[in-house]
Structure 1
């Protein structure tokens, strides 16, 4: 690990930085998962921006349901749009699901980047905040960045969810290539 300025430490997959003064232990953490994709990067980004409603049919083993929330009428991810998603549960041995409500915080079409913030769900029992960003790079990779603030040091890292993103990336990539997107 290399010491940067302030109390910030960086590794290839995580960065730790003090956020606000709740206690000396309050830390913001960041984890990244990048996977190569073979389909068109534009198609991959478009799928998550405009066709997220297809996730249960494309990735049914991971995403059970997805729905519009709080009066939203469009599936297009725009700033402020809200959705509810049910995904494979982290603590499950069976086919149980966790339900989360999220809001789209930012959309950058030029950078092919969408940022989602968790509003409701079991993860907020362990984390004060939980934000996920998808960026589809021109280097044919899909990169998910998870930023979170642990409620206390005993809260684990959300590695299970990064593994789900890896599975989603591979499944969506195969679907888009198989269907000539």
Structure 2
């Protein structure tokens, strides 16, 4: 019994989107890296279907300045309690623990909710420390998601539509981006045919100065958008 451990992290959030948050961690884990990119770098489905018991995910993240990885199986799910449990089967943790489970749950309602992370594990020996760093990590993830920065932009269609090439270009005229860029254009196009197509997003811009970083985050964002649309499209009957 002395080797078994349990740590709990609870965070109050002022949000009315409890169901949406539960759906995020059940069906849309791949979005989390875009909400807290400094902590979670990738979250991918490698077997099964998102949100289904028995599905397998992998996650790359940083804790205490070190990059870590784990693979986990969705073990239990309780929609009524808005609770989901993953069992770690590979990666960080299992070199120190015989078993490791992570449970995410949401309680409360309206704008007074509590997000709870529960870590249950069995240490391989008494000299293995309890993973308190994961309590701080999970709290940081919750807060970053709660305070996720919202972006806005207004764009005009430049009449740059090519139906033959299936291409359309928008020019940003207001909002996020123009505080860093003198001009910004977004082009969306599709090439190929049947079940072998390529979706291309092109961002053309002029930075206001050399110190302005290139907007690499938009490359990851548009890739996520494309993949999510592909997943939704695959669910539509032919």
TM-score (norm 1): 0.76
What's 2:11 paired with? Answer: 35
Deviation at 1:106, TM superposition (A): 0.4
Deviation at 1:27, TM superposition (A): 2.3
2:52 paired with 1:78 = yes
2:129 paired with 1:152 = no
**Maintained 8 Å contact 2:29/2:44:** no
Alignment of 1:1-181 (within 5 A): 18=1, 26-39=2-15, 40-69=17-46, 71-72=47-48, 74=49, 76-90=50-64, 92=65, 96-138=66-108, 140-175=113-148, 178=150
Deviation at 1:178, TM superposition (A): 4.5
**Maintained 8 Å contact 1:63/1:88:** yes
> Over alpha carbons, which structure has the higher Rg?
2
Measured against aligned partners, the alpha-carbon deviations of 1:116-169 in whole angstroms (never above 9, x if no partner) come to 110001311111001010110025000001001000000011111111100110
**Maintained 8 Å contact 1:45/1:136:** yes
Gaps of 5+ in 2: 152-238
Moved over 3 A (4+): none
How many residue pairs end up in the alignment? Answer: 147
**Maintained 8 Å contact 1:44/1:173:** no
TM-score (norm 2): 0.58
- Structure 2 CA distance for aligned equivalents of residues 78 and 34 of structure 1: 25
**Which of the pair is proportionally richer in strand?**
2
Deviation at 1:108, TM superposition (A): 0.3
- Give SS of 2:58's match: strand
Gaps of 5+ in 1: 1-17, 19-25
